[in-house]
Amino acid sequence: MVNEKVGRAANPGKRTRLPAAERRAQILTVARDLFVTQGFEQASMRRIADAAGITPTAIYDHFADKEALLTAIAADFFDGLVAAMTVPPDAATDPLDLLRQLMINYVRYGLAHPNEYRLVFMTSLSRFVPTLGHRGLPCAGEVPEDVVQKTVKAMQSFGILQTGIERLVAAGLLRADDPEGFADSVWAMGHGIVSLVITKGDSNFTPIDRWIDTSIGILMDGMRPR
């Protein structure tokens, strides 16, 4: 019995020492892995530290608390979401296809990152619901800068959806009743699908592809000028 504990650092006596940036990145990597495989509650600081080959307290030199781990992970998630929703406005294709693609990408990306999605869109962690003005516009001075930045990033993906819809309205392809409400409704539909599948599994519903198709169909027809 030389190495009694696997998953710990190889040499118990001689632990590797890393510069802060690398260690931070490594902690994030293993934390993300544990959060995804075991969930936020189950993945304890001790287990994360174990997987990283350090003691739990060392984590606190790189992150304020457990929530900060998730916040950092969520930041990456938002970047990916924005990227996924930034489809090239290829003018050649049908403009309505842009909206369709937007929603498909949103749902796909959400389901591909269920744990991060749950974190940022399905739990009211304090740092994700700061005191905001209408439409999530941060009220300057009330909220720490980094939180504001993250919130802005979060709203960015919604902004893409909203401006997309506004463009279609302007082009006369959608009704002009309530563009803002349209965006909220489209988001609600997409979010509803993602969150239901995340919590209840996909076996209880219409197969996801057909579901998205049907939903988009309803939305398109429902928002078209009569």
Chain residues that interact with a second copy, rule: CB under 8 A: 121-124, 129, 132-136, 177-178, 180-182, 184-185, 187-193, 195-196, 198-201, 203-206, 210-211, 214-215, 217-224, 226
Pair 151, 129: CB distance under 8 Å: no
Nearer of residues 16 and 199 to DNA, judged by Cβ: 16
DSSP-derived secondary structure for 149-168: HHHHHHHHHHHHHHHHHHHH
134 near DNA (CB under 7 A): no
Cβ neighbours of residue 56 closer than 8 Å, sequence gap 6 or more: 45, 46, 48, 49
36 near DNA (CB under 7 A): no
DSSP-derived secondary structure for 63-86: -SSHHHHHHHHHHHHHHHHHHHH-
38 binds, among a second copy, DNA, none (CB under 5 to 8 A by kind): none
Binding window for DNA (CB under 7 A); candidates: 64-72, 99-107, 188-196, 199-207: 64-72
* Binding residues for DNA (CB under 7 A): 15-20, 23, 43-47, 49, 54-58, 60-61, 65-67
